[in-house]
Amino acid sequence: MSFQDKSLQCSDCGATFTFSVQDQEFFQSKGYTNEPKRCPTCRDARKAERGTSTGGYSGNSYSGGNSNSSSYTTRQMFPATCSDCGKATQVPFEPRNGKPVYCSDCYRKVKR
């Protein structure tokens, strides 16, 4: 798939920013399916508010930097139903159709 630079509008400040070919390739390599909705300045400001590292996206290119996941204060969780026992649970990823999802107890059993 060939990419071309895209102009996007920031959802926070309304500024137009470029989603470069490099950035699109980086997103694809990470498996991201959505385009960025914030310009680099607003992304950095949001990260600073949350106290997270700026590793990764800075300016108009991705450096593939080291993200310090231990500085995240909250993790988005998604509701799911365990594929094994049927119990309602929450998982740190968005469940996809056809992929089994397990509660922590069943995951420990399956992992062995």
Most confidently predicted of 18-27, 43-52, 63-72: 18-27
CA distances from 71 to 53, 65, 91 (A): 7, 15, 19
Q: Which pLDDT does position 6 carry in this prediction? A: 93
Average pLDDT of the segment spanning 84-97:
89
pLDDT-based confidence at residue 67 (cuts at 50, 70, 90): very low
Give which of 102, 19, 106 is closest to 59, Cα–Cα.
19
Provide the pLDDT for residue 16: 93
Residue 93: its pLDDT value, please?
Answer: 87
3-state helix/strand/coil string of 24-83: HHHHHHHCCCCCCCCCHHHHHHHHHHHCCCCCCEECCEECCCCCCHHHCCCCCCEEEECC
pTM: 0.44
Q: Work out the end-to-end distance of the chain between its first and last CA atoms, rounded to an integer number of angstroms.
A: 39
Cα 65 to Cα 55: distance, rounded to the nearest angstrom: 4
pLDDT value for 63:
43
Q: How confident is residue 54, by pLDDT bands cut at 50, 70 and 90?
A: very low
